[in-house]
């Protein structure tokens, strides 16, 4: 098991306990996808067929061979502008304004262990648990490079994919679309399974036959959203919980995404998972690298139950991390439904005492403990404890709760700002707003520009003053979508939402490094952000 390369045929085989994944470097340097599914032991290049197909263009290199067309061949990482008119994994605008990226194979390397992604969450594994394949592609004209990253966890039946886009040319480019995984299927009927919903009703099962044309789910809300989950399943029509073939794709990212499916004119199916094109136009200067978030792939020939267990096991053992990964979480009581904004230190102590008598282990103080926050119109951003409301300091309250044998946690919403707040009055430019337009409000609040480190630093310092009092749990909320995509600094607003998510990750990483014993619950009005 693991990764093998057939030098003569230039075929890569990624083998797990129960699955095989194959692709080939062809005579022109294109990467052609051969197979993904249950274990096979031979080379699958015989599946490729070449026909003269009307209105399907041919690369110049093939010297008039009209049977060779990227518009009909299965590919590993299709790019816009190469004659393939199906959905693509990458679209780049070059320095001359053209949108073409023609990536060809240059080299590869196979290493022990699992690649990492600086600043992004990713599956991790030890050197004995995984292997990494890196395939270097380059556009000979613009010198734009792509490093395709494959992580293979054989015992987990998991393959991960990501991409590094590197600008080795002299001109600034713009990444307009970027996906980390593409799966091409040469034939057959498939069902598409996605998970739709809304606030307080997430992840409802939806199954439809894949038809000719394009189907997609995604988010342009700044978070992965309650409305669609960043995952999909492709299944044989008869697949159920215990039988049938099915493929899972999960995008490991908390922001905008798009999961696309297309059944083409030749009854071939393509699935692409990556970043949403909405509000996205990322500049990459000479020498810079852009990282595409990771997609996790798995296949089951034993129905959805086995597919789910593959993903559960992978995420629990190889994506979750930290002190609490394998620990039972404490039983907690939250003050929100008990008191909403209308609590005092005394009422919280009564709630804690009654809860402790029932065996509950933690009290979480929800919204309303800071600034003048007595309703949802005010004070987000003013992370100073309202001691008048509590009747004591935060440290004194925590010690009282701890004396009852209970842990103590708090609610925060660091990414948000109220217009009626000291912070907004001092720094109105810190909120995401479009000049000369009134911003879209949601829950009577605006969004801080978390792509800016100076803003993150300020909020971090304010919150740490409270955490230093002995807080053991954080409920991190995000109670609105992002609409006004405009930063007060810079002109490259097409990078804002991606950098915003990286900013959230950076903030969380700093919290974890400073407070390794704090348990963090990621809340987004419930389950609105992965």
CA 507 – CA 527 distance, rounded (Å): 20
Would you say domain 332-522 falls under CATH 3.20.20.70? yes
Model confidence pLDDT, tens digit, residues 76-101: 999 999 999 999 999 999 999 999 99
Going by the DSSP 8-state scheme, the letter that residue 380 receives in this structure is T
Q: For residues 503-525, give the mean pLDDT.
A: 96
| Rounded to 5°, angle at Cα 250 from 503 and 207 | 130
What's residue 241's pLDDT? 98
Model confidence pLDDT, tens digit, residues 361-388: 999 999 999 999 999 999 999 999 999 9
Beta bridge partners of 333: 363
Going by the DSSP 8-state scheme, the letter that residue 61 receives in this structure is G
E strands in 238-391: 246-252, 257-263, 269-275, 282-284, 289-300, 332-334, 362-365
What's residue 433's pLDDT? 97
Model confidence pLDDT, tens digit, residues 386-438: 999 999 999 999 999 999 999 999 999 999 999 999 999 999 999 999 999 99
Residue from 368, 342, 360, 370 nearest 407 by CA? 360
Residues making up the chain, counted from first to last: 530
Decide: pTM greater than 0.95.
yes
Q: For residues 110-138, give the mean pLDDT.
A: 98
CA 417 – CA 400 distance, rounded (Å): 30
What's residue 491's pLDDT? 86
CA 463 – CA 486 distance, rounded (Å): 25
Model confidence pLDDT, tens digit, residues 482-505: 999 999 998 899 999 999 999 999
Q: DSSP letter string over 231-279? A: EEEEE-TT--SSSB-EEEEEEE-SS-EEEEEEE-TTS-EEEEEEE--TT
What's residue 490's pLDDT? 83
For 339, list phi and psi in degrees, rounded to 5. Answer: -135, -10
Q: Is 501 exposed, middle or buried (0-12, 13-18, 19+ CB in 10 A)?
A: buried
Domain spanning 2-318 has what CATH number? 2.70.98.60
Share of the chain above pLDDT 90, in %: 98
The residue extents of the domains of the chain are 2-318, 332-522
- Region of poorest pLDDT, from 220-224, 321-325, 463-467: 321-325
Task: Report residue 264's pLDDT band, with 50, 70 and 90 as the boundaries.
Answer: very high
Q: How many CB atoms lie within 10 A of CB 516?
A: 9
What's residue 108's pLDDT? 99
Contact predicate 481/198, CB 8 Å: no
Q: For residues 122-142, give the mean pLDDT.
A: 98
- Coil vs helix vs strand at 455: helix
Q: For residues 303-332, give the mean pLDDT.
A: 97
What's residue 64's pLDDT? 87
Q: What does the block give as tokens for 407?
A: 């842990």
Tally of helices (H runs) and strands (E runs) in the chain? 8, 26
What's residue 228's pLDDT? 97
Model confidence pLDDT, tens digit, residues 159-168: 999 999 999 9
Contact predicate 62/28, CB 8 Å: yes
Instruction: Say if strands 173-185 and 269-275 run parallel, antiparallel, or are unpaired.
Output: antiparallel
What's residue 57's pLDDT? 92
CA 433 – CA 284 distance, rounded (Å): 24
Model confidence pLDDT, tens digit, residues 137-160: 999 999 999 999 999 999 999 999
What's residue 1's pLDDT? 86
What's residue 486's pLDDT? 97
Matching fold, domains 2-318 and 332-522:
no
- Coil vs helix vs strand at 189: coil
């Amino acid at each position: 098991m693991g990764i093998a390369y057939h030098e003569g045929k230039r075929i890569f085989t990624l083998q797990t306990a129960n699955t095989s994944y194959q692709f080939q470097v062809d005579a022109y340097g294109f990467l052609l996808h051969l197979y993904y599914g249950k274990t096979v032991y031979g080379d699958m290049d015989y599946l490729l067929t070449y026909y003269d197909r009307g209105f399907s263009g041919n690369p110049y290199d093939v010297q008039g061979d009209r049977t060779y067309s990227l518009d009909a061949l299965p590919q590993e990482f299709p790019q816009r502008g190469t004659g393939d008119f199906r959905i693509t994994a990458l679209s780049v605008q070059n320095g001359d304004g053209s949108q073409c990226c023609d990536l060809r194979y240059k080299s590869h390397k196979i290493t022990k262990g699992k690649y990492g992604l600086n600043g992004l969450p990713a599956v991790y594994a030890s050197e004995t648990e995984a292997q990494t394949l890196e395939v270097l592609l380059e556009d000979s004209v613009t010198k734009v490079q792509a490093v395709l990253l494959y992580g293979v966890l054989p015992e987990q039946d998991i393959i991960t994919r990501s991409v590094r886009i590197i600008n080795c040319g002299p001109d600034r480019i713009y990444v307009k679309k970027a996906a980390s995984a593409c799966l091409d299927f040469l034939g057959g009927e498939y069902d598409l399974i996605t998970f739709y919903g809304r606030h307080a009703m997430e992840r409802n099962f939806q199954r439809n036959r894949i038809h000719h044309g394009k189907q997609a789910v995604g988010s342009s809300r700044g978070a992965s959203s309650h409305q669609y989950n960043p995952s999909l399943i492709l299944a044989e029509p008869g697949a159920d919980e215990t039988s049938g073939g099915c493929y899972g794709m999960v995008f490991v990212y908390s922001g905008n995404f798009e999961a696309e499916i297309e059944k083409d004119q030749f009854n071939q199916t393509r699935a692409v998972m990556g970043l949403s094109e909405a509000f996205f136009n990322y500049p990459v200067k000479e020498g810079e690298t852009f990282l595409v978030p990771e997609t996790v792939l798995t296949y089951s020939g034993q129905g959805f139950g086995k597919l789910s267990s593959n993903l559960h096991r992978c995420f629990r053992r190889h994506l979750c991390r930290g002190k609490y990964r394998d620990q039972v979480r404490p039983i907690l009581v939250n003050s929100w439904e008990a008191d909403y904004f209308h609590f005092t230190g005394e009422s919280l102590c009564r709630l804690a005492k009654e809860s402790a008598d029932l065996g509950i282990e933690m009290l979480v103080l929800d919204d309303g403990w800071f600034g003048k926050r007595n309703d949802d119109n005010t004070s987000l951003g003013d992370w100073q404890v309202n001691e008048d409301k509590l009747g004591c300091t935060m440290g004194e309250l925590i010690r009282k709760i701890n004396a009852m044998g209970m842990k103590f946690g708090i609610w925060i919403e660091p990414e948000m700002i109220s217009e009626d707040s000291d912070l907004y009055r001092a720094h109105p430019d810190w909120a995401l707003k479009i000049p000369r337009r009134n911003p879209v409000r949601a829950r009577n609040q605006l969004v801080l520009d978390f792509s800016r480190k100076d803003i993150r630093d300020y909020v971090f310092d304010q919150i740490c003053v409270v955490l230093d009092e002995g807080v053991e749990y954080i409920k991190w909320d995000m109670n609105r979508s992002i609409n006004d995509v405009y930063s007060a600094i810079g002109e490259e607003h097409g990078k804002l939402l991606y950098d915003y998510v990286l900013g959230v990750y950076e903030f969380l990483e700093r919290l974890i490094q400073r407070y390794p014993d704090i348990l963090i619950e990621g809340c987004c009005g419930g389950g609105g952000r992965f």
